[in-house]
A and B are shown apart, each in its own frame.
Chain A
Amino acid sequence: MKVKVPKKKRRILTEEEVFQRLIAGDEVGLARALSLIYDENVSSEFLSRVYRYNQEKGSLSKVLGITGAGGVGKSTLISVLAEKLLQSGKRVGVIAVDPSSPKTGGALLGDRIRLQHLFPNPNLFFRSFSSRGMVGGINPFIFDAVSILEAASFDYVIVETLGIGQDEIDIVHMCDITSLVIAPGLGDDVQFLKSGIVEVVDLIVMNKADLPTASRTIGILHSFTRMVESHPDILKVSSYTRMGIDDLIEYLNNKWEEFQKTGELEKRRRFRWKFQVGNWMRYIMGRKIEEFVNEAGPVLEVSPFEIATNTLKEWGCEV
């Protein structure tokens, strides 16, 4: 017996439909909006509508960044945070960024596994992003994804990125409050000194604090952060035993409200907008430059500097 299966045609929603469903809090609309930003054919008007909408309604989503090295327990910590927030009736949206393969562009996005037990749940949304080959772990698309989650009016928008080095600090420009997650036994004090990220995050979350080696790592951290002028606070938590999780949520809530009162939140969000303009310009120029370089025949007797400056002049850029 042969059963004929008709070829499926992907149902296309217009930008108008996507926008209306997005702001109505519809899951399909939100998921589609997040795909739309990667779509070659999306109009810049769509994103402008999202920004305008957020500005008019006033976004009260708390945008929380979670970064740190691989294996420190970022995803598990987010699952524990989400669980607690959902219990108190909050709506939570999560964006997790994983690296893509430099060879094929493919990616295996596995952060979701740590939260799967919380599904199905109408108040929890999780979207896995690949970095699509862009350095710093964050590309302009992901900045805009945060704005889309704000338009869907989540109480909390949590962004997870892999970040350890000096180049991977973009997340702090994207979020209202950024936490660096560390775990005991990962690297010595030199690792902290090398990494610029300790200087820019708001909070260091010491995960796996139930392990016996945790106090030693805390000691090293304290001795280092004392040397930084405005050093981040340090909190001890354990996703495994749930130790300190309530304190962490309270800390983040208080910090956000403090930022809102003092105008720090407004300042950060204005900077985020400016930073995102730069993100897009770098991305667009980057593509243009790549196209040029691919076609430029190597003329080994001319200096690359000369070609570069001449070409930029041709493009109308003052060099």
Chain B
Amino acid sequence: MGDKKVVRVLVGKPGLDGHDRAAKVMARALRDAGFEVIYTGIRQTPAQVAQTAVQEDVDVVVLNNLTGAHLEVFPLVVEELKKRGRDDIYVLATGVIPFEDVGPLKEKGIDEVFGPGTGPIHIINWIKEHVMGESEGA
């Protein structure tokens, strides 16, 4: 006995960054797309984001940072997830990320990067394709 699969997404803001408008807009857009969205709030350590992702058993973690710390902070979240045995959770990077940082982020385990100007619909579609497409096939 159960219920239909609902995609769960964590919107995380690791690092010392108080600019949360984008994260909140994104959280709302993901909710309107039918996902269950958990928001960590601002100024989280990578360990806080990772433990939250584990406890909430999310399918995707969407990271957002607007201070330029993404190259340092985002891979640490990937590390922390791995430490907790949950490196099978998708990690997406969003924020003011220059094009030349996309490759290095992906090398460090970020699954996709959504830089400036990306609308929420692109993130929603990516999640639908990778998470829901997968569960339908299984």
Interface size of B as a range: 35 or more
Which residues does chain B contribute within 8 Å of A31, judged by CB atoms? 54-57
A27–B57 alpha-carbon span in the complex (Å): 10
- Residue A178 is within 8 A (CB to CB) of chain B in the complex: no
Interface string of A163-200 (1 = CB under 8 A from B): 00000000000000000000000000000000000000
Please give me the residue from chain A that is nearest to B4 by CB atom. Answer: A40
Q: Is the CB of B84 within 8 A of A109?
A: no
Q: Which residue of A lies closest to B80 (CB)?
A: A120
Return chain A residues, CB-CB under 8 Å to B2.
Answer: 37-42
Contact indicator A120/B47 (Cβ below 8 Å): yes
- A residues 285-319 near B (Cβ < 8 Å) are none
Contact A27 B38 (CB under 8 A): no
Q: Is the CB of A104 within 8 A of B32?
A: yes
Distance between B26 CB and nearest chain A CB, rounded to angstroms? 11
**Which of A6-14, A81-89, A245-253, A258-266 lies at the interface with chain B?**
A6-14
Instruction: Count CB-based A-B contacts (< 8 Å).
Output: 124
Asked whether B3 lies within 8 Å of A106 as measured between CB atoms, the reply is no
Question: How far is the CB of A27 from the nearest CB of chain B, in Å?
Answer: 6
Which chain A residues border B4 with CB–CB below 8 Å?
Answer: 40
Q: Is the CB of B106 within 8 A of A107?
A: no
In Å, the complex CA distance between A106 and B50 comes to 22
CB of B55 to closest CB in A, whole Å: 5
Check if B134 is an interface residue, CB within 8 A of chain A.
yes
Question: Number of A residues contacting the other chain (C-beta, 8 Å)?
Answer: 47
Please give, as numbers and ranges, the residues of chain B lying within 8 Å of A113 by CB-CB distance.
39-41
Cβ contact of A40, chosen from B5, B56, B112, cutoff 8 A: B5
A interface, CB within 8 angstroms of B: 1-3, 5, 7-11, 27-28, 30-32, 34-35, 37-42, 44, 100-101, 104-110, 112-113, 116, 119-121, 125-128, 130, 132, 141, 280, 284
18 A-B pairs in the complex with CB atoms less than 8 angstroms apart: A3-B106, A5-B112, A7-B134, A8-B88, A9-B134, A31-B54, A38-B5, A44-B1, A106-B30, A106-B34, A107-B31, A112-B38, A112-B41, A112-B56, A113-B39, A113-B40, A128-B38, A132-B6
Query: 7 closest A-B pairs (Cβ-Cβ)?
Result: A113-B41, A40-B2, A106-B31, A31-B57, A104-B34, A3-B106, A120-B47
